[in-house]
Amino acid sequence: MSAQAQIVGGWSAYHPLTAQDKKVFQEALHGFVGVQYTPLEVSTQVVNGTNYRYLSNAQVPGSELIYKVIVSIYAPTNGAPHITGIQQI
């Protein structure tokens, strides 16, 4: 069973980003301003579409402070992915 194999409705373990994971992150954050987010790992949940939880570094431009956040994104089966939450950890 691969690291990304999972049960429908269950969350996968965090794992390195695939090309598709990176694409979803970039599409959902397109045009987002104020904080720069850099995804490190991702966990996914297959529902009617896919939920993503990206463990990410966050940094305000001009600041040297980098902190960890979870960027939650929902990618519907048909339609554009969008941010559903950002939580500092």
Check if the beta carbon of residue 73 is closer than 8 Å to that of residue 25.
yes
42 lies in a domain? yes
40 lies in a domain? yes
76 lies in a domain? yes
Residue 31 per-residue DSSP state: T
d(CA 19, CA 5): 16
Check if the beta carbon of residue 51 is closer than 8 Å to that of residue 72.
yes
35 lies in a domain? yes
Q: How many domains does the chain have?
A: 1
Domain ranges, residue 32: 24-88
pTM over 0.75: yes
At residue 20, the 3 state secondary structure works out as helix
3 lies in a domain? no
Task: Encode pLDDT of 5-14 as tens digits.
Answer: 556 678 999 9
7 lies in a domain? no
Task: Encode pLDDT of 55-84 as tens digits.
Answer: 999 999 999 999 999 999 999 999 999 999
Sign (positive/negative) of CA torsion 38, 57, 66, 70?
positive
